[in-house]
């Protein structure tokens, strides 16, 4: 079946990418999950840069993720700062060294080369895969972790943006980041 073919291809791609991440991360004592957590945090907005959001995004338990985050902090790849208003919340951010590593390793160079060689229309592929991801998230009742442009809470006011959920202003750069509170406008 065509649908099963897509499934097997995506599974195989995932395995190959994890394998390349494992190989590239090994010299830095990083497993694929470390790189995934750092990559997520480099794209997460201020409502989504917390340990629980990392756990939800990666589909792992809080305890498991907590160990990984502590290892990243010890390695000087992650900083932690308390929230200004809620003492129970901490915000995480990749350090400059982590961002340099991410630029070199995520996505793996092999991915970029394969994409170029295959001559794929990346915009069309992103659109199809985004629809597939949304369908799976709906089926599993998971958070969407989308960007503001596709969120039902986004308001355009006085030439700028406001989050209708938190009622806080958003910069254009904020609207490009991943959000744990995102709910699809569709
Ligand atoms: S508009 Fe939606 S995606 Fe953007 S910050 Fe608010 S809840 Fe998050």
Domain that holds residue 47: 2-120
Distance 153 CA to ligand 1 centre (A): 6
- Domain assignment present for residue 104? The answer is yes
Would you state the pLDDT for residue 153? 97
Distance CA 88, CA 112 (A): 40
- Domain assignment present for residue 146? The answer is no
Would you state the pLDDT for residue 8? 95
- Domain assignment present for residue 164? The answer is no
Would you state the pLDDT for residue 1? 53
Distance 119 CA to ligand 1 centre (A): 34
Give whole-number Cα distances, 43 to 19, 36, 71, 83, 145, in Å. 23, 11, 20, 18, 10
Pocket of ligand 1, beta carbon within 6 A: 45, 47, 148, 151, 153-154, 163, 165, 170, 179, 181-182
Would you state the pLDDT for residue 3? 64
Distance 159 CA to ligand 1 centre (A): 17
Would you state the pLDDT for residue 112? 85
- Domain assignment present for residue 151? The answer is no
Distance 117 CA to ligand 1 centre (A): 36
- Domain assignment present for residue 142? The answer is no
- Domain assignment present for residue 64? The answer is yes
Model pTM score: 0.92
SS (H, E, C) 94-112: ECHHHHHHHHHHCCCHHHH
- Which residue has the least CA distance to atom 6 on ligand 1? 163
Report, as ranges of residue numbers, the positions in the chain whose pLDDT lies below 50.
none
Would you state the pLDDT for residue 28? 95
Please, what is the angle between helix 32-43 and helix 96-105, to 10°?
A: 110
- Domain assignment present for residue 89? The answer is yes
Please, what is the angle between helix 2-25 and helix 96-105, to 10°?
A: 130
- Domain assignment present for residue 35? The answer is yes
Please, what is the angle between helix 51-58 and helix 32-43, to 10°?
A: 120
Distance 166 CA to ligand 1 centre (A): 8
CATH number for the domain spanning 14: value is 1.10.10.10
Domain count for the chain, please give it: 1
With a CB cutoff of 8 Å and minimum separation 6, the contacts of 150 are 182, 184, 185, 186
CB 37 within 8 A of CB 77: no
- Which residue has the least CA distance to atom 5 on ligand 1? 163
């Amino acid at each position: 079946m065509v649908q099963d073919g897509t499934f097997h291809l995506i599974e195989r791609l995932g395995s190959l990418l994890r394998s390349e991440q494992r190989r590239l991360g090994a010299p830095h004592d990083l497993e694929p999950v470390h790189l995934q957590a750092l990559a997520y945090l480099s794209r997460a907005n201020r409502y989504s840069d917390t340990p629980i959001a990392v756990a939800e995004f990666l589909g792992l338990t809080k305890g498991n993720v907590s160990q990984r985050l502590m290892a990243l902090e010890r390695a000087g790849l992650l900083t932690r700062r308390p929230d200004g208003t809620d003492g129970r919340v901490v915000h995480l951010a990749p350090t400059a060294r982590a961002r340099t590593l991410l630029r070199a390793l995520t996505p793996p160079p092999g991915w970029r080369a394969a994409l170029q060689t295959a001559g794929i229309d990346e915009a069309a592929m992103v659109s199809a895969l985004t629809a597939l991801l949304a369908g799976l998230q709906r089926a599993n009742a998971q958070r969407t972790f989308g960007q503001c442009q596709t969120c039902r809470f986004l308001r355009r006011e006085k030439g700028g943006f406001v989050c209708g959920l938190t009622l806080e202003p958003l910069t254009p750069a904020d609207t490009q980041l991943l959000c744990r509170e995102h709910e699809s406008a569709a």
